[in-house]
Structure 1
Amino acid sequence: MKKIVLILMSGLLLLILLSCKRDEHQELEKPTFPFMKVGNQWNYRMITEAGEAEISYKVVDKTQENYFKVLLNFVGSELPAMDHFWYADQQTFTMTTDWPDSNLKFTMLKRDAKVGDSWEYFIPAPLDPEDDDLSGTITYKVVEASTTIQAIGKTFTDVYKVRQTASSHPQFYADYFISHSSGIIKMEGMGYLRIDDEEIVYFPLEWRLKSKNF
Structure 2
Amino acid sequence: MKKATLILMAGLLLLALFSCRQDEHQEPEKLAFPFMKVGNQWNYRMITEAGETEISYRIADKTKENYFRVLLNFVGSELPAVDHFWYADQQTFTMATDWPDSNLSFTMLVKDAKVGDRWEYFVPAPLDPENDDLSGAITYEVTAANTSVSAIGRTFTDVYKVRHTASSHPQFYSDYFISLSSGVIKMEGMGYVRIDGDEIEYFPLAWQLKSKNF
Q: 2:139 aligns to what?
A: 139
Change over 3 Å in CA distance of 1:19–1:162 after alignment to 2: farther
Report the Cα offset of residue 20 of structure 1: 5.5
Q: 1:113 aligns to what?
A: 113
Q: Which amino acid aligns with 1:160?
A: Y
Q: 2:188 aligns to what?
A: 188
- Name stretches of at least 5 consecutive residues in structure 1 with no aligned partner: 1-10
Q: Percent identity?
A: 76
Aligned length in residues: 201
Q: 1:49 aligns to what?
A: 49
1:48-103 per-position Cα deviation (integer Å, ceiling 9, x unaligned): 00000000000000033210000000001121110000000000000000110100
Q: Which amino acid aligns with 1:189?
A: G
Q: 1:40 aligns to what?
A: 40
TM-score, normalisation: structure 1: 0.89
SS in structure 2 at match of 1:63: strand
Report the Cα offset of residue 108 of structure 1: 0.3
Q: Which amino acid aligns with 1:73?
A: N
Report the Cα offset of residue 196 of structure 1: 1.3
Report the Cα offset of residue 205 of structure 1: 0.2
SS in structure 1 at match of 2:103: coil
Q: Which amino acid aligns with 1:152?
A: I
1:8-47 per-position Cα deviation (integer Å, ceiling 9, x unaligned): xxx79x84x76556555x35x2111111101000000000
SS in structure 1 at match of 2:36: coil
TM-score, normalisation: structure 2: 0.89
Distance 2:114 2:36 in 1: 22
Q: 1:5 aligns to what?
A: none
Q: 2:3 aligns to what?
A: none
Distance 2:197 2:95 in 1: 29
**Paired residues for 1:72-91 under 5 Å:** 72-91=72-91
2:207 pairs with 1:169: no
Q: 2:5 aligns to what?
A: none
Distance 1:159 1:58 in 2: 20
- Name stretches of at least 5 consecutive residues in structure 2 with no aligned partner: 1-13
